[in-house]
Structure formats: C-alpha cells, structure tokens
C-alpha cells in the first residue's frame, strides 16, 4: 500500500532533528533516487542534518544501523537498498535477514529505523524494470520522508526528539 505523496500535516519544528541515512551501493543508480527525494522532502521542512553512510550491499545495513544507533546522535535512521532475486544469494533469505536485523536493532536501541529496502521478485536488468524501479525509489523516498516526520512527531510527544 502506498502512502500519499503529499507531506503530512506535522505541527512540530524538527529543524534540529538529526537523521542518519544508510544507502546500499548495489544498484546504486536506482537506490540513490530514494535519497534524492527523501532529502528534498525533508529539506523543504527545514531538516538539513542528514548524515549519509554508504555500505556495499543491503546485508551490511543492519550493522551500520547498529553502529549509528549506538552513537546516540540520531533521532531516526533510514536505510535504502534493493535486494533482487538471482545471483549468488537467495532473495528471500537476504531480504528476511536484513529486515529482521533492522527491526531488532531498532527495538534494542530504541532508535527508529525506517526501511526503504525493497525486495522485488523477478527483477531483471532490462530498461523497463530499471525505469520502473528508478521512479519507484523516488516515490519511496518521499514516503520515507513522510514516515520520518510522523516518527519525529511521535517521538516529540514522548519527549525523545530534538525540536527546533
């Protein structure tokens, strides 16, 4: 289910929020589109402190998230990657491992980790799939920004977010 592409009506000033953004380099030409729209959306709301970390692939996201969470410097961590079927790893194994580990890090650290890790079935390297997922990651970046704002608002209500 897709979220609306318009920003939610969030009342707080989150210009002091610190966001960590982890991006897997596998299929980076596609995955980076989420960062583009995520950053643009949050910058429009005055959130500019977004620290980018890159990792080789999606399997490396959970450890990077854990290391970032342990610093205590970030209100929210966002992770983006593309896990495709085929190749040397089983698609379902990698997807489950990455998403389960991200959730565990979030629960253990109490730092929200938002996922833009997509796991399409039957991804192919041809132009049609490339174009579809290129555009889809742009949409997912906007949705992640909206989720980030909602999460910051929830955290603010609990006294756990940096507000302006």
pLDDT, one tens digit per residue, over 38-80 is: 999 999 999 999 999 999 999 999 999 999 999 999 999 999 9
pLDDT computed for residue 119 by the predictor: 80
* Residue in 19, 72, 74, 79 with CA at minimum distance from that of residue 45: 19
pLDDT computed for residue 161 by the predictor: 64
**CATH number of the structural domain 19-157:** 3.40.50.960
pLDDT computed for residue 10 by the predictor: 58
* Residue in 124, 98, 114 with CA at minimum distance from that of residue 30: 124
Residues in the chain, pLDDT under 70: 1-11, 86-90, 122-124, 126, 161-164
Q: Which residues lie closer than 8 Å to 94 by C-beta, 6 or more apart?
A: 58, 59, 83
Catalytically active residues are 90
This prediction has a pTM of: 0.88
């Amino acid at each position: 289910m897709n979220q609306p592409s318009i920003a939610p009506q969030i009342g707080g000033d989150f210009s002091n929020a610190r966001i960590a953004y982890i991006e897997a380099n596998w299929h980076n030409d596609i995955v980076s589109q989420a960062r583009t729209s995520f950053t643009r959306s949050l910058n429009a709301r005055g959130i500019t402190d977004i620290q980018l970390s890159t990792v080789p692939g999606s399997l490396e996201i959970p450890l990077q998230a854990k290391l970032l969470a342990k610093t205590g410097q970030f209100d929210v961590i966002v992770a983006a990657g593309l896990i495709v079927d085929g190749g040397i790893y089983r698609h379902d194994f990698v997807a489950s491992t990455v998403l389960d580990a991200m959730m565990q890090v979030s629960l253990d650290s109490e730092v929200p980790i938002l996922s833009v890790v997509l796991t399409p079935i039957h991804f192919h390297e041809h132009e049609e799939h490339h174009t579809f997922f290129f555009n889809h990651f742009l949409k997912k970046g906007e949705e992640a920004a909206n989720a980030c704002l909602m999460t910051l608002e929830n955290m603010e209500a609990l006294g756990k977010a940096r507000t302006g």
